Structure formats: C-alpha cells, structure tokens
Chain A
C-alpha cells in the first residue's frame, strides 16, 4: 500500500492512500499529487535504506511519497 503525505503546519497530512486492491485509488492519488506539485510542492520517494528519490510522477509501487516545500540558501 502506498501513502502520499504532505509536510505542513499540522505536522503532516495524509493526502491519499492507494493499493492494487482498491480500484481507482491510485488515480485519485495521482490527481492529489498533481495538485500539490502545481502548487509548488516537491515530492520524493523514501527508500528503506534511508535514501530518497525526487519524483515528478507518482510511482504506483512506492510505499511512502513525501511532499515538501522548497529549500533555499540562508
């Protein structure tokens, strides 16, 4: 099962969850994902080894996709 979360003022919000058993759940998650990217959020897939990969499309096989705001030099 995959989960799409957004880091925000509440700590984090789960925007969508999808699995192969639930027909259409991935399509809904993709729509939510696109909305967030259009609003300026950035997404990455978290790997079990502690690494992360930037994604611009929602991978169906991902377990956790995190949306965050951009960073900048201080």
Chain B
C-alpha cells in the first residue's frame, strides 16, 4: 500500500494540499472535476463519436454515388460507423463489475464465503433501505451525489448525469484487492465516493461518456434495474 503511494511524484514546493480524499490529494497534477469539466468532457465525447460516424459514413456515401457496384465496400464503411461507437459504449459498460456477476471476485477460486457474508452485511448497513434492495437485485450500490447518481460495483462506477440522459463511466478500483471480499471492494469505493465525490472522480479515469440508452444495452442484465432506478432518480430529482 505504502509502496504504491510512494510511486507518485511529490508535489512541487508551495502546492496547496487538496482537502478531502487522500488519493486525490496525491494527484496534484490532475485538474479538479466539476459540473463544468464534466460537461466539457461530455461534449468532447459527443464530438468524437460524431467524427467517427462521419469519417466512416461519408466515404460509404461517396462510393455509392460513384457506382452502385461499390455497395459491399460502402456497407463495410457503414458497419464501421455503427460498430466503433457501439464498442466504445460496451467498453464503458464493462468498466462496472457488479457483485455476483461473471467477473465478480466472489466467484474466484478460494473465495472465503464467511468473509463474503460479513462484508455483504456491512455493505448492507452502509446503504439505505431502497438501495439495499437494489444492491441485492443488481449487485451495485446506488449513491446520489452532487454531480449525479452513481452506480458503484466491485470495480468501476457509472454516473448518471442530471436529467438522466447522459452517463459517464469511470474506471476505478481498490488499489490492492488481495484477499478482500467482493462486497468490501464495493464498500471501499462507496466510502471513497461519500468522502469526496469530486475527488473520487478525479482519482478515477473517465472511460466513456455518452447517451444512457447506448450504455444500457451493454450492461449485464442484472445491473439494469439499478441503472434504470438511477436514471429515474435523476429524472425525478429526488
């Protein structure tokens, strides 16, 4: 643990220490995450996706205009325009690892079932009644924040942005998971998020930002109820 923290370069003299999450304070070179920075990143992702669609669609249309015999090549271009954004969204959805899912640590060989039970009990105590039910059904913890409603898994987190139409996917994990029960991994991320939401987003890496409907189809079936509930929370503003 200590070694991992020492790998980071020390802050230049005179750098003000950031309050809140310790891990974010160590990342002195990273920009603060705010509503504005999230909007800016979201616009960049949208522009990038549009650029991908245009870059592959335009040659396809051009080829068809030249000759109908180019249809197979044009279809290849259109397929690329469709599949690249879809793969990006799938990658974003894949950053979330729900408890008990295919990639869950609870399924690993040698997982301590007693420890998993204890960890799950504590996680259940940490979340509210409604969130506990969602956690049981979907394997992810739902947490309302100032920047949006979060879904937190063993690894990764998804933030449903205000209005519920855009989502941001974050790659984040416990630095050293060795021997840690799966539910404790969720608890670690949930606690860090509660301690300092902006700091949490600062430590995590943004892996995808885009429309909620694009992401939903890439999510595991079990995680979708929590995703829908988070979107509903954002839409209703409760």
Contact = CB atoms under 8 A, between A and B. Distances in A.
Chain A partners chain B? yes
Contact of B119 (A12, A40, A41): A12
Interface residues on B, range: 35 or more
Given A8-B179, A41-B1, A70-B23, 16 more contacts: A11-B114, A11-B122, A11-B181, A44-B191, A46-B126, A52-B194, A52-B195, A54-B22, A68-B174, A68-B188, A69-B1, A69-B188, A70-B1, A71-B172, A74-B95, A74-B156
Identify which of B120, B183, B191, B205 gathers the most chain A CB atoms within 10 Å of its CB.
B191
Given A70-B1, A74-B171, A74-B205, A12 B22 contact: no
Contacts of B194: 44, 46, 50-52
> Interface SS of chain A: helix, strand, loop or mixed?
strand
A43 to B, nearest CB: 9
Interface string A6-39: 0111111000000000000000000000000001
B231 interface: no
From DSSP, what is the main secondary structure of chain B's interface residues? helix
Contacts of B176: 69-70
B41 interface: no
Contacts of B174: 68-72
B4 A72 contact: yes
Interface of B: 1-2, 4-5, 20-23, 95, 112, 114-122, 126, 128, 143, 155-156, 171-176, 178-181, 183-184, 187-189, 191-192, 194-196, 200, 203-205
Interface string A41-72: 11010100011111000000000001011111
Interface of A: 5, 7-12, 39-42, 44, 46, 50-54, 66, 68-74
Contacts, number: 113
A72 B175 contact: yes
Nearest to A53: B195
24 contacts: A7-B187, A9-B178, A11-B121, A11-B183, A12-B122, A40-B2, A41-B1, A44-B194, A46-B194, A54-B22, A54-B196, A70-B5, A70-B22, A71-B172, A71-B173, A71-B189, A71-B203, A72-B4, A72-B174, A73-B172, A73-B205, A74-B156, A74-B204, A74-B205
A54 B175 contact: no
B188 to A, nearest CB: 5
Contacts of B143: 50
B117 A11 contact: yes
Contacts of B116: 11
Nearest to A66: B191
Contacts of B184: 7-8, 11-12
B172 A72 contact: yes
Contacts of B120: 11
